[in-house]
């Protein structure tokens, strides 16, 4: 397929001041459509609204998937992508789960690189900032029957962003959720399906009313094992051993999660992917055996957890401060992403 590039003649004003997360969008976007069994009309074009009919299938049945990855620009002006191909491969896995046709990963990766370079003057360079990249697919068939749509739009938009949490790298407060369920084995929790996030909002709002930043989800069957957090995977350090919930079919296989495991293992640190009972987490917090807790995610990066609430009681972790391993992982990963530290893993693509 040919990639067309239509440049805007009306560049937008860039934001000044704090960026926040996902509030501003660059001058261009990538778009292609799917009809009659194939993707077509791939183009980089000015960022613009879509016109969709009220009967468009994504509005009714939520057939859609998305990804999140980032571009970084360092002080030398180098533009760097972090494992973008892994995100596009995961997008195809998510698509398969909800009957969306796959994209050609190499073609889209090439288009993504061109899009990022076209809008590279939007990539912020301050510490903790990056260009958040959001590839998405939505079903666009104009029909109300419940079936996999016959037409789709794939698009990539770019958003210069700062920290995901308003309070930056300050430890976050999590609320352990026992009433609502995020995902069950066999469902869509293992994939980045748009409806997963709508289903998580109620618990998130209730946690926020009680002063927490995000929800810590337990397994859907017994409410016994920790699964993940609102927008992050979760890691625990018990007596120097790093543990994270195993991917047993209802947890998102995070690319930052995978990178942290690979990084720590390469340094000789034991990392266990296993079932983690919430009872062990509570015991660990009370006895002091639980030394650190941190979340991982593209948007959230590495987020220290200062405390969590469970059944009306708050439990502090590591004196409410960022722990040693958390700090090391944060500095190493962001160092590799921005080029301050060499990348021995081949994760970064320099543009
Ligand atoms: C990401 O980390 O990229 C995510 O997609 C999480 C979130 C903002 C939904």
pLDDT at 77: 92
pLDDT at 318: 87
pLDDT at 276: 97
Mean pLDDT of 332-341: 94
pLDDT interval class at 238 (50, 70, 90): very high
Alpha helices in the chain (DSSP H): 57-61, 84-97, 105-118, 194-209, 255-266, 278-287, 324-338
Query: How far is residue 277's CA from residue 258's CA, in Å, rounded to a whole number?
Result: 21
**Can you read off the two tokens belonging to residue 27?**
């001058």
Mean pLDDT of 31-60: 97
Q: Does 164 have pLDDT greater than 90?
A: no
Query: How far is residue 112's CA from residue 66's CA, in Å, rounded to a whole number?
Result: 14
How many Cα atoms occupy the beta-carbon half-sphere of 278 within 13 Å?
Answer: 21
- How far is it between the farthest Cα atoms of the chain? 62
Q: Please give the share of the chain, as a percent, with pLDDT higher than 90.
A: 92
Average pLDDT, the chain: 95
Query: How far is residue 120's CA from residue 349's CA, in Å, rounded to a whole number?
Result: 15
Query: How far is residue 77's CA from residue 40's CA, in Å, rounded to a whole number?
Result: 34
Query: How far is residue 99's CA from residue 5's CA, in Å, rounded to a whole number?
Result: 29
- Tell how far the Cα of 111 is from the centroid of ligand 1, in angstroms: 21
pLDDT at 320: 82
Q: Does 168 have pLDDT greater than 90?
A: no
**Can you read off the two tokens belonging to residue 298?**
């593209």
The answer to whether residues 230 and 215 touch, using CB atoms and an 8 Å cutoff, is yes
- Tell how far the Cα of 252 is from the centroid of ligand 1, in angstroms: 11
Assign 45 to helix, strand or coil. Answer: strand
Q: Whose CA is nearest to atom 6 of ligand 1?
A: 231
Query: How far is residue 155's CA from residue 43's CA, in Å, rounded to a whole number?
Result: 10
pLDDT interval class at 167 (50, 70, 90): confident
Q: Whose CA is nearest to atom 3 of ligand 1?
A: 68
pLDDT interval class at 118 (50, 70, 90): very high
User: pTM of the entire structure?
Assistant: 0.95
The answer to whether residues 218 and 177 touch, using CB atoms and an 8 Å cutoff, is yes
Ligand 1 atom nearest to CA at 197: 9
DSSP annotation of 102 reads P
pLDDT at 230: 86
Pocket of ligand 1 (CB under 6 A): 68, 197, 231, 297-299
Long-range contacts of 3-8 (CB under 8 A, 24+ apart): 3/42, 3/43, 3/44, 3/107, 3/110, 3/111, 3/114, 4/41, 4/42, 4/43, 4/44, 4/45, 5/43, 5/44, 5/114, 5/118, 6/43, 6/44, 6/45, 6/46, 7/46, 7/118, 8/46, 8/47
Taking Cα atoms as reference points, which of 90, 77, 5 lies closest to residue 41? 5
């Amino acid at each position: 397929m040919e990639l067309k590039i239509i440049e805007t003649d009306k560049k937008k004003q860039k934001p000044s001041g704090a960026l926040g997360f996902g509030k501003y969008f660059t001058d261009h976007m990538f778009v292609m459509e799917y009809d009659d069994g194939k993707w077509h009309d791939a183009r980089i074009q000015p960022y613009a609204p879509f016109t969709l009919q009220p009967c468009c299938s994504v509005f009714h049945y939520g057939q859609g998937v998305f990804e999140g990855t980032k571009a970084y620009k360092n002080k030398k002006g180098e533009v760097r992508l972090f494992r973008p191909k892994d995100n596009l491969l995961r997008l195809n896995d998510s698509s398969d789960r909800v009957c969306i046709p796959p994209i050609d990963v190499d073609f889209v990766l090439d288009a993504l690189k061109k899009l990022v370079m076209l809008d590279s003057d939007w990539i912020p360079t301050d510490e903790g900032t990056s260009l958040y990249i959001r590839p998405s697919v939505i079903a666009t068939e104009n029909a109300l029957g419940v079936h996999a749509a016959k037409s789709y739009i794939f698009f990539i938009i770019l958003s210069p962003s700062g920290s995901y949490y308003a309070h930056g790298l300050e430890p976050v407060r999590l609320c352990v959720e026992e009433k609502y369920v995020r995902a069950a084995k066999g469902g869509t929790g293992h994939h980045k399906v748009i409806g997963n996030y709508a289903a998580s909002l109620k618990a998130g709002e209730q946690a926020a009313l009680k002063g927490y930043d995000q929800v810590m989800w337990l397994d859907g069957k017994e409410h016994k094992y920790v699964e993940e957090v609102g927008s992050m995977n979760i890691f625990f350090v018990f007596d120097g051993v790093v543990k994270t919930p195993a991917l047993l079919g209802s947890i998102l296989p995070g690319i930052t999660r995978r990178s942290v495991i690979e990084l720590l293992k390469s340094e000789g640190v034991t990392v266990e992917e296993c079932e983690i009972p919430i009872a062990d987490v509570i015991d660990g917090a009370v006895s002091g055996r639980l030394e650190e807790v941190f979340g991982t995610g593209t948007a959230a990066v590495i987020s220290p957890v200062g405390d969590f609430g469970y059944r009306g009681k708050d439990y502090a972790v590591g004196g409410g401060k960022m722990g040693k391993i958390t700090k090391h992982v944060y500095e190493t990963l962001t160092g590799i992403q921005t080029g301050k530290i060499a990348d021995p893993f081949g994760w970064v693509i320099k543009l």
